[in-house]
């Protein structure tokens, strides 16, 4: 059984829960300052009304995502979960004239988000229903007919921040995509890596990549939450952000 990540950190560094909370808050503040400093002169990021944290991605994730976009210059992006990261991805795609789609299951949230960005930059959103499925006999939540919907498509950047988290094999769509939807040069970002379900999915994903003979490097990043980066070996510089 996987030990909770926070418990691993407490044990490894010899700190208690209160100290860990202080550490993560301080780290997130530093990431917020670093992120805002890094994007200051960005030509393509015109609209910067970000509200990170809580259920949304944190500043640490936004910083990593921005550096990935700037560093690898993806040409085909798919994101699961409409939110703060979409503001980065969709503005990048619009400015650079590349393909980027954000998958979201909630039509009300799509309308709200679209109204707030209307007239600023186009946002390509694909509405997909949620579906309860079983992966290795464990019930989890994914998107309906995801394998069929993405058949024949390949992406060099995949961002996983939806659907809702599950206790086991959370957000398993990436497991179905690993064999057929990855370009040779790729990067995968998984949010909420602190949770057992996401860590279980990441572990399974790495197992699949190994089975497929796909070489990769990884890095866990932290702010107020944790996120996990997996990329092809030629993009290993992304693990030093």
* For residues 197-209, average pLDDT: 98
pLDDT at 78: 98
Residue 132 predicted with pLDDT over 70:
yes
pTM, two decimal places = 0.89
DSSP for 59-93, please give it. HHHHHHHHHHHHHH--SEEEEES-SHHHHHHHHHH
Q: What is the mean pLDDT of the chain?
A: 91
Convert the pLDDT of each residue in 31-59 to its tens digit.
999 999 999 999 999 999 999 977 789 99
Q: What is the pLDDT of residue 112?
A: 94
In the three-class reduction of DSSP (H, G, I as helix; E, B as strand; rest coil), residue 195 is classed as coil
**Residues 136, 176: contact at Cβ < 8 Å?**
no
Tell which residue, 84, 34, 117, has the closest CA to residue 191. 84
Cβ 124 vs Cβ 100: under 8 Å: yes
Torsion of CA 203, 209, 210, 213, to 10 degrees: 180
What Å distances lie between residue 37 and 33, 40, 63, CA to CA? 6, 5, 10
Residue 82: pLDDT above 60? Answer: yes
Q: Where is pLDDT greater, at 1 or 94?
A: 94
Q: What is the pLDDT of residue 40?
A: 96
Rounded Cα–Cα distance for residues 5 and 180 (Å): 30
Paired with 78 in beta bridges are: 101, 158
pLDDT > 70: what percent of the chain? 90
Cross-strand partners of 100: 77
C-alpha distances in Å from residue 71, one per residue of 64, 106, 184, 234? 10, 31, 16, 12
Domain ranges of the chain: 5-240
Which CATH architecture best describes the domain 5-240? 3-Layer(aba) Sandwich (3.40)
pLDDT at 72 over 50: yes
């Amino acid at each position: 059984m996987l030990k909770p990540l926070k418990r691993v950190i407490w044990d490894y560094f010899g700190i208690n829960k209160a100290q860990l909370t202080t550490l993560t808050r301080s780290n997130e503040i530093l990431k917020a300052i670093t992120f805002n400093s890094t994007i200051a002169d960005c030509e393509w990021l015109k609209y910067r009304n970000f509200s990170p944290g809580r259920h949304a991605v944190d500043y640490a994730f936004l910083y990593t995502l921005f550096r990935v976009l700037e560093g690898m210059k993806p040409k085909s992006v798919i994101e699961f979960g409409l939110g703060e990261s979409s503001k980065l991805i969709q503005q990048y795609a619009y400015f650079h004239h590349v393909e980027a789609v954000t998958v979201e299951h909630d039509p009300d949230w799509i309308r709200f988000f679209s109204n707030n960005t209307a007239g600023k930059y186009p946002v390509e959103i694909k509405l997909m229903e949620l579906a309860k499925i079983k992966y290795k006999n464990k019930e989890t939540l994914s998107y309906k007919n995801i394998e069929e919907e993405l058949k024949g498509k390949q992406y060099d950047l995949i961002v996983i921040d939806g659907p809702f988290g599950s206790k086991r094999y959370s957000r398993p769509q990436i497991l179905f995509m690993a064999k057929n939807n990855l370009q040779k040069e790729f990067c995968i970002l998984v949010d909420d890596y602190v949770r057992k379900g996401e860590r279980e999915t990441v572990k399974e994903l790495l197992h699949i990549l190994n089975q497929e003979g796909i070489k990769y490097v990884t890095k866990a990043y932290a702010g107020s939450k944790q996120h996990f980066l997996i990329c092809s070996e030629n993009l290993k510089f992304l693990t030093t952000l």
